[in-house]
Structure 1
Amino acid sequence: KPLHDLVPLRNKVVKRTVLNTIETLIRPIRGKKTHSILGYVHKAYPPIYAALCEKVGFDSSLLIRGVEGGIVPSLRQKGLMISYYKGVEKARVETDPKLLGINRELRAITFPKELENGIKKDLLAEYAVNLGRSALSGESGMFYDGLVYSASLILWHLGKSKTLPSAADRVREVLNSGKALTRLAAKP
């Protein structure tokens, strides 16, 4: 609860704050092996984030130069991802959305004008959920492409695919089958 009480301050600050990093490093979800997937903007951040991830016990970390510091790279230009294991850089890979079959004029999703200012939070949340559901059920679009792109980078980082294009093919196969949405909607 105390961390949640800082949300209004975080919203005022707007810039990426220490809370963004702390929220990730407290590891609310754990498994047998742990992998941190982080977005960054500034070039100095990856080794710092990787060292923090290693310090708190993550097995690996993938740092993606994403739009606004998120984990989805620009959908229209080349980007960079850096793969770390136990805090040591293992690979630095230039990413290109075109090599994954992603050809967009915009770098990221835009929202309808009436939702841009964030005042209608419920409508914005509903809009985002609908975009996500559509993408998870195989409907092509920018949200779908963002999922394909990010998931491909993660599959490659985890060694589940040898190449980014083969990872993208795997992700599309799952999304197009509707299995992703079905699994997400399944009750535990």
Structure 2
Amino acid sequence: MSSADAGLEMPKLPELLKRVAIGPKLQKEITRQEAAAAITSALNGHENMMQLGIFLIALRMRGERMHEFEGILDGMLELTNAVAVETENLVELAEPFDGSNRQLNFCAFLPAVLAACGMPAYVSGVHDCGPKHGVTAAKVFEFLGKPQLPDMTEAVSLLESEDVGWAYCGQEFSSPALYAIREQRDLMIKRTALTTLERLLHPLRASGKNHLHIGYVHKAYPPIYARMAMQAGYDSVCLLKGMEGGVFPALDKPLRATLVSVEHDLEPSRIDFDFDPLDVVSSGEIKFSDTESCEAQVARIAEEGLAALNGACGNARKLLTTTGALILYSSGQASAPVAARKMILEVLDSGAALHRLRSFVG
């Protein structure tokens, strides 16, 4: 029986609110099945959006239990349009959907670099959402001349194409029910469980191994992301302390990255990966100015990202090299960090990554 069917026999938001929105000492837990039914019902348009906001914020203020996260993810997965991709390996780059607004972020260029190294990749997201309303990959693609991004069928074709090998997956196609409530979520102000989990819906699924590369800010999140990633069906997840919670390692501090995989019985293991001194970037070098508009930030990222794919030296090249090498190494596509770094530099210098980008943009 699906969670939607089960939900017909269970209380929805009004009843659940009586149990979770009653103060820190009286709050009660809800079951995984109740959480799934409530979220499915809400995403299907059967619940009051104000009540959904109260419900999610009440859970966040109390602190979601792991089984409640599992239930909410169940409900979100039920309404996700997951599609199959015929490829031996596939990595999803899970950036925060609200983008970045503090530092240059070159995630829009990273999947083309990985694809040129033989690793199919995609970045998932939306064009714009709160609370940051920052720079997203979709905004960079639009600036580069690709305003119409692929639907699910087109994304599969791009990933399976020998000439492209990477894609963008927009939430409007992968999870239209979740995308439809983005304005209501903006009004909630606080980040909720939906924000935590929307990067873990696994919309494009390889016939071979599926890898997730995801960043975090707060130390409480790695166990949650690891558990939810396995629930969603990924074979491995690389968790790292990231720039603004994204896929590029946080700067000015040692790398903190952990690998969790089905192959190694889900036991977290530290990734032994040292940056080449030539690739080190300080946060001050890529910081946005306080007066820089989002449009100006997008233009800077596009200019520097294209230069890196043209073989130019600079911070974009360094960040793409370190992050790309980490992904290749953690997913088993390179035997050692040094070999992974060499692979990245070769496709940047040869123009192979630039060709992959141009094949996508058209």
Which bracket does the TM-score occupy, shorter chain normalised?
0.7 to 0.9
Question: 2:241·2:256 contact (CA, 8 Å) conserved in 1?
Answer: yes
Structure 2: unaligned runs, 5 residues or longer: 1-175
Q: Per-residue deviation at 1:56?
A: 1.0
Q: Helix, strand or coil for the counterpart of 2:206?
A: coil
The alpha-carbon distance between structure 1 residues 19 and 95, as it changes in their structure 2 partners (threshold 3 A), is farther
**Matched residues in 1 for 2:324 and 2:335: separation?**
14
Higher relative contact order (CA 8 A, sep 6+): 2
Q: Per-residue deviation at 1:129?
A: 1.7
Q: Per-residue deviation at 1:142?
A: 1.5
Question: 1:73·1:79 contact (CA, 8 Å) conserved in 2?
Answer: yes
**Matched residues in 1 for 2:245 and 2:303: separation?**
23
Give the match for residue 322 of structure 2.
Answer: 149
Deviation sequence 1:102-139 (CA, Å, 0-9, x none): 23343662124431xxxx33332222222221222222
Which of 237, 241, 244 is equivalent to 1:65? 241
**Matched residues in 1 for 2:324 and 2:355: separation?**
17
Q: Does the alignment pair 1:42 with 2:221?
A: no
Question: 1:10·1:17 contact (CA, 8 Å) conserved in 2?
Answer: no
Q: Does the alignment pair 1:160 with 2:333?
A: yes
**Matched residues in 2 for 1:3 and 1:53: separation?**
18
Let me know the Cα RMSD of the aligned residues.
Answer: 2.7
Q: Does the alignment pair 1:104 with 2:281?
A: yes
Q: Per-residue deviation at 1:181?
A: 1.2
Q: Helix, strand or coil for the counterpart of 1:79?
A: coil
Give the match for residue 92 of structure 1.
Answer: 270
How many residues get paired?
Answer: 182
TM-score (norm 1): 0.81
- Aligned positions of 1:1-188 closer than 5 A: 1=176, 3-4=178-179, 5-6=181-182, 9-10=185-186, 13=189, 17-32=192-207, 33-86=209-262, 88-93=266-271, 95-97=273-275, 99=276, 101-106=278-283, 109-115=286-292, 120-186=293-359
TM-score (norm 2): 0.45
Structure 1: unaligned runs, 5 residues or longer: none
Q: Helix, strand or coil for the counterpart of 1:89?
A: coil
**Matched residues in 1 for 2:244 and 2:273: separation?**
17
**Matched residues in 2 for 1:48 and 1:38: separation?**
12
Q: Per-residue deviation at 1:16?
A: 5.8
Q: Per-residue deviation at 1:146?
A: 1.2
The alpha-carbon distance between structure 1 residues 42 and 121, as it changes in their structure 2 partners (threshold 3 A), is closer
The alpha-carbon distance between structure 1 residues 108 and 37, as it changes in their structure 2 partners (threshold 3 A), is farther
Q: Which shifted more, 135-144 or 55-64?
A: 135-144
Deviation sequence 1:3-48 (CA, Å, 0-9, x none): 34426855984x7653443221122333222111110122232122
Question: 1:75·1:107 contact (CA, 8 Å) conserved in 2?
Answer: no
Q: Per-residue deviation at 1:147?
A: 0.9
Question: 2:274·2:337 contact (CA, 8 Å) conserved in 1?
Answer: no
Question: 2:251·2:283 contact (CA, 8 Å) conserved in 1?
Answer: yes
